[in-house]
Amino acid sequence: MIRLSGRLRSSLIIGLQGIRARKLRTLLSMVSLFLGVLAVVTVQAGSVIAQRALLADLELQRGKDGTLLMYLPSEQGASAITLDAVAGRDDAVAMTRAQAIIGEPGLRPVNEGGVPIDQAGYGPPPQMVCDDHGNCVEQSEQDDEPKPVGQAVELSLIGITGDVREFRPFRLESGEFVDFDSAPSLAPRLVINKHAAEAFAAYSVPAEMRITGASANPTPLIVGVVDDGGWGPTAYVRADELLNWTEPAGLSDPNYGGGIELLASPTATDLEQILRSRFAANDIPTEFQVETIDSLEQMGSQISLMRWIFLGMAALVLLIGVAGILNVGLATVGERVEEFALRRAVGTPRFLLAGIVLAETLLTGLLTAAAAIGAGVVGLEAASRLFASREPFLANVAFPWEAGVAGVIAGLVAGILGGLIPAIRAARIPIATVMRA
Amino acid sequence: MTLIQLTGVTKTLRGQDEARTILSGVDLTLEPGESVAVLGRSGSGKSTLLSLIGLFDRPDGGQYLLGGKDITRVPERRAAALRSAEFGFVFQRFFLLKHLTALQNVSMALVNGQGWLPRRKRRTTAMEALERLEIGHLARHKPPRLSGGEQQRVAIARALVRRPKILLADEPTGALDTDTGNLVVEALRATTDEGCALVLVTHDRDHAAKMSRVARLTDGVLA
Ligand SMILES: Nc1ncnc2c1ncn2[C@@H]1O[C@H](COP(=O)(O)OP(=O)(O)OP(=O)(O)O)[C@@H](O)[C@H]1O
Ligand SMILES: [Mg+2]
Give the gap in angstroms from C-alpha B112 to the nearest C-alpha of chain A.
Answer: 4
B192 is a domain residue: yes
Work out the percent of chain B whose per-residue pLDDT is above 70.
Answer: 100
CATH number of the domain encompassing residue B189:
3.40.50.300
pLDDT in tens, A144-153: 455 566 678 8
Q: Would the CB atoms of A3 and B115 count as touching at under 8 Å?
A: yes
Instruction: Please give the number of the atom of ligand 1 that sits closest to the Cα of B217.
Output: 21
pLDDT in tens, B25-79: 999 999 999 999 999 999 999 999 999 999 999 999 999 999 999 999 999 999 9
ipTM computed for the complex: 0.95
Greater pLDDT, A100 or A150: A100
- Give residue A179's pLDDT: 85
The rounded mean pLDDT for chain A is 82
CA proximity to B156, closest of B99, B210, B110, B88: B88
- Give residue A344's pLDDT: 94
Nearest-by-CA chain A residue for B55 = A345
pLDDT in tens, A218-260: 888 888 888 888 888 889 988 888 887 777 777 777 666 678 8
B149 is a domain residue: yes
Work out the percent of chain A whose per-residue pLDDT is above 70.
Answer: 87
B213 is a domain residue: yes
B68 is a domain residue: no
Range of the domain at B144: 34-58+76-222
Q: Would the CB atoms of A347 and B47 count as touching at under 8 Å?
A: no
Q: Determine whether B107 is exposed, middle or buried from the number of CB atoms within 10 Å of its CB (0-12, 13-18, 19+).
A: buried
Q: Ligand 1: which of B23, B26, B48 to mutate, most ligand atoms within 8 Å of CB?
A: B48
- Kindly tell me if the per-residue pLDDT of A80 is higher than 60: yes
B133 is a domain residue: yes
B216 is a domain residue: yes
Average the pLDDT over A118-147 and give the result.
58
Q: Kindly indicate the confidence band of residue B190, based on its pLDDT and cuts at 50, 70 and 90.
A: very high
Give the gap in angstroms from C-alpha A421 to the nearest C-alpha of chain B.
Answer: 21
B20 is a domain residue: no
For residue A316, report the phi and psi dihedrals to the nearest 5 degrees: -65, -45
Report the number of distinct structural domains present in chain B.
1
- Kindly tell me if the per-residue pLDDT of A96 is higher than 80: yes
Q: What is the pTM of this model?
A: 0.70
Lowest-confidence segment of A201-215, A385-399, B149-163 by average pLDDT: A201-215
Q: Are A293 and A63 in contact (CB under 8 A)?
A: yes
B99 is a domain residue: yes
- Kindly tell me if the per-residue pLDDT of A1 is higher than 60: no
Average the pLDDT over B122-139 and give the result.
94
CB B202 less than 6 A from any atom of ligand 1: no
- Kindly tell me if the per-residue pLDDT of A206 is higher than 60: no
- Give residue A368's pLDDT: 92
- Kindly tell me if the per-residue pLDDT of A142 is higher than 50: no
- Kindly tell me if the per-residue pLDDT of A281 is higher than 90: no
- Give residue A392's pLDDT: 66
Could you give the CA distance from residue B63 to residue B8 in angstroms, rounded to a whole number? Answer: 7
